[in-house]
Amino acid sequence: MDKIKNIFIEGPITTSFIAESIQHHSHKTNIGAHSIFLGQVRADTIDKKKVIAIEYTSYQEMALEKMHSIRESIFEKYALTCMHVYHSLGSIKSGQICLFIFTSSAHRKDAIDACNELVERIKAELPVWGKEIFDDESHQWKTNQ
């Protein structure tokens, strides 16, 4: 069994981190496709109040065990060479990246399908909560659509 990987990053996921992650794969010549999903905090307007940030919290030990299980099942289902998942914790401002999923395979279909399934399963199964912070300093707990 593979070691449980920490997917959590304190604060927003930077574009330089994303670029470096992609660059690290340029020497892997068996890869023919990468699929990337970037989740960004939206400045939604809810009841005439604008979301200025989302504060992410998690039950980390449980989340990492669940992510490990999801990871194993995705590797069993798709012919992937690599899979990377990073999720922000803490306060992430609207416009900033909070989720980065990166799958690689020899062919695009597996990379794309695995990436899509990962996004859906992470949103549905991981114990990660987002508190939407409004421009009037009030807040509400986010519900996934």
pLDDT per position as a tens digit, 57-94: 999 999 999 999 999 999 999 999 999 999 999 999 99
Answer whether residue 136 is part of any domain: yes
Task: Give the tokens for residue 142.
Answer: 């986010």
Answer whether residue 60 is part of any domain: yes
Give the residue numbers spanning the domain of 50: 10-141
Is residue 144 predicted with pLDDT exceeding 80?
Answer: no
**Predicted confidence band of residue 54 (pLDDT cuts 50, 70, 90):** very high
Quote the pLDDT of residue 27.
85
The model's pTM is: 0.93
Q: How far is CA 51 from CA 19, 42, 94, 96, 143, in A?
A: 27, 7, 7, 12, 14
CATH number at residue 117: 3.90.1170.40
**Do 115 and 37 contact (CB within 8 A), yes or no?**
yes
Q: For the chain, what is the domain count?
A: 1
Answer whether residue 93 is part of any domain: yes
92 closest CA partner among 18, 39, 36: 39
Answer whether residue 5 is part of any domain: no
Each residue's pLDDT tens digit, 6-45: 999 999 999 999 999 999 988 888 999 999 999 999 999 9
Task: Give the tokens for residue 11.
Answer: 């604060």
Quote the pLDDT of residue 3.
80
Residues 6 or more apart whose Cβ sits within 8 Å of residue 50: 43, 44, 94, 134, 135
